[in-house]
Amino acid sequence: MLHRIDTEADIAAGLEVLMAADRRLARVAAVAGPLPLRRRPGGFAGLAGIVVSQQLSTASASAIWGRLAAAYDPLTPQSLIKARADRLARLGLSRPKIRALKEIARALVNGALDCEALPDMPADAAHQALCAIHGIGPWTADIYLLFCLGHPDVWPAGDLALQEGARLAFGLPERPNAKEINVLAEPWRPWRGVAARLLWAYYRAIKQRDAIPVGPAK
């Protein structure tokens, strides 16, 4: 990977390239304001945190994560594998999330998933490697690569707020679906990860509510 988004300066560098390539983005950036970095830990903790947060409010996700981290300190793949499902459920985790967390933990322990190799892989290849693990869907993979690894070219096409941000930013008649927004973002390679941050920030500025990340569109 030629670049990685580790600092606000990295975001600024990518944004300069994007605005030079697509003049429309300068107008979007003027409204969006500063683009948050929002880096998270990688590895099992990063993946587990994303799984826990899916389809929940920030407050609910934080509360469940706090109980999980306190109950299993340190939270490791090995401790999660051994954890009883009924105890995890009492902490607030749904059955699908419990299954997903256990599958991810097993994949890390048995070597089916190598998180150390992901940062140096192309975005599409890293996405495919993550999605090969049962329990990791496209949205989870994209959010992990973008916020935990700082991959510059990840594009969460299924994210609802990203789609709505694109509709608002470019005056589209309706919210684009994943296929349509992928076509829209193709010219923004290899900085689609910065473009995603830009559209999320634009959405936040227009709607006056935060939306990073929202989750996959249904």
- What is the pLDDT at residue 2? 55
Residues 175/137, Cβ–Cβ less than 8 Å: no
Same-domain status, 21 and 65:
no
Tell me the per-residue pLDDT of 18-33, one tens digit each, with 9 for 90 and over: 999 999 999 999 999 9
pLDDT single digits (tens) 48-66: 999 999 888 888 999 999 9
- What pLDDT, on the 0 to 100 scale, is given for residue 217? 45
Q: What mean pLDDT is predicted for residues 178-185?
A: 97
Q: What is the pLDDT of residue 213?
A: 53
Residues 164, 104, single domain; the answer is no
Q: Are 4 and 119 in contact (CB under 8 A)?
A: yes
Q: What angle do CA 138, 144, 148 make, to 5 degrees?
A: 170
Q: Are 104 and 188 in the same domain?
A: no
Cβ(136)–Cβ(174) below 8 Å: no
Same domain assignment for residues 17 and 84: no
Residues contacting residue 123 through CB under 8 Å, at least 6 positions apart: 145, 151, 153, 154, 155, 190, 192
> Do residue 52 and residue 26 come from a single domain?
no
Mean pLDDT within 164-193: 96
CA distance to 52, 65, 79, 80, per residue, from 73 (Å): 16, 12, 9, 10
Domain end, chosen from 125, 148, 171, is at: 148
Answer with the one of 101, 127, 148 that is the final residue of a domain. Answer: 148
pTM: 0.88
* Domain span at 90: 43-148
In a domain, 213, yes or no: no
Which tokens is 74 given?
């340190």
Average pLDDT for 145-166: 94
- Asked, for residue 133, whether it belongs to a domain, the answer is yes
